Structure 1
Amino acid sequence: MLAGQVEWVAVDWGTSNLRAWGIDSEGDVAFARSSPDGMGRLSREQYPDVLTALLSGVADEVSDVLICGMAGARQGWMEAPYLDAPAELGRLAAGAVTPEMPGPLDPRILPGVCLRDVGAEDVMRGEETQLLGLSAMIPGFSGLVVMPGTHSKWALLDGTRLTRFSSAMTGEVFELLRTHSVLRHSLGGELEGEDRDLGFDAGLDQGLEHPERLTATLFKVRAGSLLSGRSAPWCAGFLSGLLIGAEIGGQRDWIGNAEIPLIGSVGLCGLYQIAFNRLGALTRVVDATDATLAGLKAARQG
């Protein structure tokens, strides 16, 4: 599709990656582009050139650019102050900020959402846009949404109103333990295979049943490989299952009877589905990109 047929550009600027989609007047994706220039590798002064380069060939035709994610963080392009939860996500665009940008592009950066309750302080950037997208994809939805990832989010959503949320550092803890703890000695080499599934099931059972024993159970990864000959795939699966199980088991009071949307990658959401199924909870997987795009479209219309 020609640049002249693009009405605006949707951008998801994460910590590791940058993605953009040209949206036409019918709301369809006219083009998609990506870059490894996420927030984590940029100085504030680099953002305009990176965005201009990504939109080369269309920047002279399209000015309207709506951005969600870490570009609005304090260490990003320009801080977009958080909305306070409970938050009406339909008003995200009203809290957008406009950074300085030479040339024809007119970018706006959406805010994140924060929870200021003492002892339960929390923040999100990017996930609020996916939650808004979910409300557009499943009209009238009300209930728990879980967003597996580096920092998993558990959110209570009522239509477009985000009432409460909590973050779990499950993905980051897995990576830190895998690469920087004594457990790394049991996780070397190939980590895939049938043994991984067996290890995942074993770890999941322990995490779900006794999330309060997480730190005491973690060392079983190392001890199992030393004393019982557990393979690297088994150990990796056990660690993954234990952490996911502890996350879900520790917050099972959030779980009701309604179906739980899981927003994220299909593979990771599949592991969470197994865990929720063990508790008898129904789930459905919602692709993270689909939710992000739906949220950016809804924010622009709001």
Structure 2
Amino acid sequence: MSAHNLLEIKHVKKQFTVPRGSLHAVDDVSFSVKQGETLGIVGESGCGKSTLGRVILRLQEPTAGKILFKGMDITAFTKEEMRQMRQHMQIIFQDPYASLNPRLTVSQIIEEPLTSFNLYPTVKERKARVAELMALIGLPPSAGNAYPHEFDGGRRQRVVIARALAINPSFIVCDEPVSALDVSVQAQILNLMVRLQQQLGLTYMFISHDLSVVKHISNHVGVMYLGQLIEKAPKPVFFRRPLHPYSMALLSAIPQVNVKEQKSKIILKGEISSPINPEPGCRFAPRCPFAQDACQTKDPEWKEVEADHFVACHRVEEFAQGLIYYQ
């Protein structure tokens, strides 16, 4: 795999004005994704995962920060420049039915981006490309004449994937693409995405609340909490030795097939702090049993604790040395 960064996010923020003030949906997030790899982003509902994905693609405009794609700062791009950039950056949405036009057949849905970007000048070439994409995602040619409502969730999501791949993007934001599917179908779609990544050299940002899904597909794992990225590490390191107390609590909730391997669940207590007009201090502090005075008043620094292992926690050195831990 290539070692260079395809995507770099630098201090990106997204705030929404609400009646009570400013909602910090994404707050000072920085990370990078290497070409051909998958970054899994996890966190509970409302933590800002999906908003982050949309901001990276500029489906929603960032309030501050820089988004570098292949070294280009796309936050400075005009609408037309951004439209052309859509050839390189695509998204797979959570609900396949809601993201497909019910009035178009499967062939028309997959062909639409080809027409929009004038990539294949003749009808014959476009039809050939549609047939190639349908074969790639495992749908028979006869499916091209069907409408989205005639398919189950798994086949609809295959259509969404084909549409995203139609214009040969190098980066795809996958916004909980399997959470609306049955477990058996989830496995099929995940395996399809892994195969396509290897075959086409794709780079994914995979958003999910399910750590077991993220473990299956990701090279690196990032954890979000109330709009902030609080930990990012290579997958083997993260699942073996997380260094943020929230990450530890998330991992303890994963059910194990072998009951003897099941660790005791960490039950978080306390109130979730509000992302509206947040005060200085760690957002996790009200629920953290290790919180000290500094945690309540000072924002933790986002720093590299070990090689490629980033954490935002005032007491991370103590966790790294094993001086403090959940009982």
Task: Decide: shared fold, TM above 0.5.
Answer: no
Q: Which has the higher helix share?
A: 1
Q: Which has the higher contact order (CA 8 A, sep 6+)?
A: 2
* TM-score (norm: length of structure 2): 0.28
